[in-house]
Amino acid sequence: QYNKQYCLVHKDKVKQYYKQYGQDNKEEISQRAKQYRLVHKEGIKQYLLVHKEEIKQNRKRYLSTVSGKFAQKKHKSKHRKMKHIMLITNPFPSDIKVDDHHVLNNFHAIDANSSWNKWFVIPMPAITHNYVGGNASNLEHWRHNEEWIRKLYDIDIKELFGFVGVEQ
């Protein structure tokens, strides 16, 4: 009772304390969260299945708020650091959602620190592009989409950019 009353009266002080605590104990909090996810893996999976629609609605609601829009902008600006040079115009009908796939990532490059190899994009159907989640370290995403580029456009990315003989 006293704690609740204290928190209501000293809202800013409590908020600042927890903010500082989070910054000072990042690693410990991260380890606790990781451990929790390992221990409760099945329960979390079950919760996500049961509350799938509710989670979608909450996400949609969040993305329409000021902080949600800011988070989207931040994500997009981070992604924009990868320049966009379209190799092919979008051949798909307008009713098919399309994502731009960066055809080269560092897994093809001889010089992994080179930035030019992140510029080129090819339009891909979103469902195909996102079938294997993609981030810079997920090579399966790049291999999966490379295979689809070969099927859809009859283009061999390695051959096109002169990476023949470079195996990953």
Name the domain boundary from 78, 101, 135.
78
Note the pLDDT of residue 48.
93
Verify that 131 and 89 share a domain, yes or no. yes
Verify that 68 and 102 share a domain, yes or no. no
Quickly list H helices, 10-94.
Answer: 11-24, 26-39, 41-50, 52-63, 66-80
Verify that 6 and 65 share a domain, yes or no. yes
Q: Which two tokens stand for residue 86?
A: 């379209």
Domain total in the chain: 2
Residue 18's Cβ-side half-sphere holds a number of Cα atoms within 13 Å equal to 6
Q: What is the DSSP string of 107-139?
A: TT-SSTT-SGGG-EEEEEEHHHHTSS---TT-H
Verify that 67 and 109 share a domain, yes or no. no
Verify that 42 and 99 share a domain, yes or no. no
Contact of 107 with 142, CB cutoff 8 Å:
yes
For residue 166, being part of any structural domain is answered with no
For residue 18, being part of any structural domain is answered with yes
**Which residue pairs, CB below 8 angstroms and at least 24 apart, start in 69-77?**
none
Q: Cα–Cα distance between 98 and 100 in angstroms, integer?
A: 7
Name the domain boundary from 37, 57, 78.
78
Verify that 105 and 154 share a domain, yes or no. yes
Verify that 54 and 90 share a domain, yes or no. no
For residue 167, being part of any structural domain is answered with no
Verify that 90 and 145 share a domain, yes or no. yes
For residue 72, being part of any structural domain is answered with yes
**pLDDT tens, the chain, 168 aa long:** 788 899 899 999 999 999 999 999 999 999 999 999 999 999 999 999 999 999 999 999 999 998 888 888 777 766 666 666 778 888 899 898 888 887 765 455 555 455 555 677 888 898 888 888 766 566 788 888 888 989 988 888 777 776 644 444
Q: Cα–Cα distance between 68 and 64 in angstroms, integer?
A: 6
Note the pLDDT of residue 82.
60
pLDDT in tens, 13-37: 999 999 999 999 999 999 999 999 9
pTM summary value: 0.46
Note the pLDDT of residue 78.
65
Taking alpha carbons only, the member of 141, 104, 135, 139 closest to residue 120 is 104
Verify that 68 and 86 share a domain, yes or no. no
Verify that 42 and 96 share a domain, yes or no. no
Name the domain boundary from 53, 78, 103.
78
Residue-number span of the structural domain to which 98 is assigned: 82-160
Cα–Cα–Cα angle for 112, 115, 119, rounded to 5 degrees: 120
Verify that 71 and 98 share a domain, yes or no. no
Question: Quick one: what percent of the chain has pLDDT higher than 90?
Answer: 37
Q: Cα–Cα distance between 137 and 95 in angstroms, integer?
A: 31
For residue 9, being part of any structural domain is answered with yes
Note the pLDDT of residue 165.
46
Q: Which residues of 52-68 are buried (b: 16+ CB within 10 A; e: fewer)?
A: eeeeeeeeeeeeeeeee
